[in-house]
Structure 1
């Protein structure tokens, strides 16, 4: 991509950027990210010797744009057309709340939100048991599922078997709490 100056009448960065955006409408995202990467490089070099090459600055911008596009790709419309199919989203964060890992588990025929939430807890516990050693808290949205997991008594509700599986899995892990 070659970007040329638009006019000798341009007197500041804002005017230049607007002119460039008007000329290169298809490349606006990458131009903006290259400008951001130049600014980031400038901030890194203040008071330091570290300086990126033009190639490195453009590579950083392109990689950032690709990551952003990958993370913000629209979901296929068909995902919502199939009735009776759900997906359980699981996220692992560290002690500071920073992202560690995520997983999506497809399930068939689940239409009840409490069953889906309880299955999500069970899947999270199984996933933690197989891949992670230091998870302390399982967070969920459903107060009824949380209350059932906190209760040590027998759960005679339609969730009872799943609740018991969750309790057993939690006992196998050290110091897991529900929130």
Structure 2
């Protein structure tokens, strides 16, 4: 987001008016409303989509006498409180993100969903920053080492680790899952590739749903499903209100858990989810999945480190 704000303040964002002025042949109208020329003030403030975003976050600015959006933002960065600055930058970044989704993928959404998604990303970033700050203070301690390391479940129980691999603008996203027992033995792994989704939060929630569906089809019943997406785990466990766009996947996860009372979903650190992450990065055909009865060669060392006592 800092890079985006830097480009905004330097008037370097490639809006259509600016590109046309540089000789690029393309439509000059705003891709979100198709009613006016796309320049900074329009796309971020005057466009009906932008106005719905600002209305949803509870910010109302009179832009009638503003002639330079970069200058306006620079003044806000100098004069406003930190909370308001974060709110402004998150809103601007969310508007720009969905403007690009419209241009490159013809994806549209409402202002409420766009802002809910943007502010969830900021919350995850702040949570991760707090966790990382705490880790740095104890980075040489055994306690911190254990927090970052995968731990086997209790005897008689199993763990499924799941992770999603998603990149902005990609047409597909991938999911990796691994099932291990109390000794840390690799029982089975899976990777699958699905059609494009809106963002990483939706991809992570679909990943947990697919992991629970996989558990449902197997004989193991006392299972802990671990994901490194805290927002997804919190939403499934009722500790976070989720946005509409991922609601269907979250509701399906909750339904699976009701059918399997001995199965739970928990959040873990990203460092403890490396095997699932590695599986998610493996190539796979769209709407198909790979099954691994042994860990792939490049993940053998990570699997061994996960069960080591050092």
RCO greater where, 1 or 2, for CA within 8 Å and sep 6 or more?
2
Give the TM-score taking structure 1 as reference length: 0.49
Q: TM-score by structure 2 length?
A: 0.29
